[in-house]
């Protein structure tokens, strides 16, 4: 009985390691144990295959989630077939289908290339609130598995070709009768590819893909919000042996702004006003994300905390028309330094107070006095 070594242990990573750490560790170990650098060393070759198998699993978010939960058992086929477990299933739906097959209306024959579709990838992009308002065109650089240039994705050494798997007749799946049920499983010989390669490409080891760095153009539309996803079809990992590529999902994260906060298409801002402006009324000018200056009118007797809504000057509606509102919360600021003349004027004002100027405070103390008898 063979001992199954933990994938994280093979890659010398913690289970909490992020995708970048796992990839960096794999590349370092792959260079160390690559057969070209260890000619004739069977231990190094076995180690290289083991870490490649571990990386094939952990670089795929779905496969990694399955492995974290079930370990190597997540990729078992009930005793049928060997090879790299992480290549046998692309997720829980494949595990379920491999058990129940056609009985539950599975996808059925012709699996082959579809089963080897490249994994979807995620890229997190930080943008400012101004960029979310106006939109932006930018470029990103991502490390992905792309079609191998040597074999052009076939997985076979140039001049040779893959042959139809005799075990599954090219379907990528085999069926077996178990009692009253017909069970369909991934072919244990070709691992779902439908083809076998007698002479694998040396550069990609028969996968038909190698790690590359790609530069992609991204169009961020106006009005995007935290968590908005942009899908780039076919820009994920290349499929094995020429199978379709996965997709790349750009997740947008809007950085905190110094002045404005956002809720949907509504912008919020706090603006301090002097106590004289609050008492006498007036206006303030607030620059907006659109580059325009917006005049906010202050009514006489404005209290601290009052909100003034400016219609149609908030965030743009994503993939629509119009804009949300701007809500300005006013805070009355008391002076901390007074000139002698200012103090004289305030003293004069206080001497003329009757209590009717601030009815809320007058009412409060009247209620407090009544409550205390």
Numbered residues of the known binding site for Zn(2+): 148, 151, 165, 168, 187, 190, 201, 204
Of 248, 255, 247, 246, the residue nearest 224 (C-alpha): 255
Output Rg (C-alpha) for the chain, integer angstroms.
33
Per the structure block, which two tokens stand in for 279?
């008492």
Q: What sign has the CA pseudo-torsion 365, 367, 372, 373?
A: positive
Q: Please enumerate in sequence order all residues whose Cβ is within 8 A of that of 34, keeping only pairs 6 or more positions apart, or say none.
A: 44, 48
First to last CA, the chain: 89
3-state secondary structure of 52: helix
CA–CA distance, 38 with 27 (Å, rounded to integer): 16
Binding-site positions read: 148, 151, 165, 168, 187, 190, 201, 204
Q: Please state the φ and ψ torsions of residue 20, each to the nearest 5 degrees.
A: -65, -40
Of 90, 121, 350, 82, the residue nearest 233 (C-alpha): 121
Q: Please enumerate in sequence order all residues whose Cβ is within 8 A of that of 130, keeping only pairs 6 or more positions apart, or say none.
A: 289
CA–CA distance, 182 with 189 (Å, rounded to integer): 20
3-state secondary structure of 169: coil
Q: Please state the φ and ψ torsions of residue 114, each to the nearest 5 degrees.
A: -60, -35
Contact 135, 220 (CB under 8 A): yes
Contact 190, 196 (CB under 8 A): yes
Q: Please state the φ and ψ torsions of residue 369, each to the nearest 5 degrees.
A: -65, -40
Q: Please enumerate in sequence order all residues whose Cβ is within 8 A of that of 10, keeping only pairs 6 or more positions apart, or say none.
A: 50, 51, 54
Strands 121-127 and 248-254 turn out to be: parallel
């Amino acid at each position: 009985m063979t001992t199954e070594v933990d994938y994280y242990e093979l890659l010398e990573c913690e289970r909490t390691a992020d995708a970048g750490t796992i990839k960096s560790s794999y590349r370092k170990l792959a260079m160390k144990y690559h057969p070209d650098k260890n000619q004739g060393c069977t231990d190094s070759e076995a180690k290289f295959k083991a870490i490649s198998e571990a990386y094939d699993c952990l670089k795929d978010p779905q496969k990694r989630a399955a492995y974290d939960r079930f370990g190597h058992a997540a990729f078992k086929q009930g005793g049928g077939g060997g090879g790299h477990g992480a290549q046998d299933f692309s997720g829980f739906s494949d595990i379920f289908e491999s058990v129940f097959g056609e009985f539950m209306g599975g996808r059925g024959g012709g699996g082959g290339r579809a089963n080897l579709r490249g994994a979807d990838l995620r890229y997190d992009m930080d943008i400012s609130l101004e960029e979310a308002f106006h939109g932006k065109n930018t470029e990103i650089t991502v490390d992905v598995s792309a079609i191998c240039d040597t074999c052009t994705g076939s997985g076979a050494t140039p001049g040779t070709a893959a042959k139809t798997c005799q075990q599954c007749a090219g379907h990528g799946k085999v069926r077996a009768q178990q009692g009253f049920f017909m069970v369909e499983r991934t072919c244990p010989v070709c691992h779902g590819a439908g083809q076998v390669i007698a002479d694998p490409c040396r550069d990609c080891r028969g996968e038909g893909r190698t790690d590359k760095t790609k530069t992609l153009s991204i169009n961020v539309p106006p009005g995007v919000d935290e968590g908005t996803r942009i899908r780039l079809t076919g820009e994920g990992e290349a499929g094995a042996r020429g199978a379709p590529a996965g997709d790349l999902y750009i997740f947008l994260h809007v950085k905190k702004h110094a002045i404005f906060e956002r809720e949907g298409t509504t912008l919020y801002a706090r603006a301090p006003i002097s106590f004289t402006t609050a008492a006498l009324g007036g206006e303030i000018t607030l620059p907006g994300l659109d580059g325009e200056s917006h005049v906010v009118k202050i009514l006489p007797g404005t209290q601290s905390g009052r909100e003034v809504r400016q219609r149609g000057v908030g965030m743009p509606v994503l993939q629509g028309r119009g804009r949300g509102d701007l809500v300005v919360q006013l805070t009355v600021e008391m002076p901390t330094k007074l000139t002698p003349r200012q103090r004289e004027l305030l003293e004069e004002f206080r001497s003329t107070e009757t209590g009717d100027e601030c009815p809320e405070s007058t009412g409060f103390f009247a209620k407090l006095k009544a409550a205390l008898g």
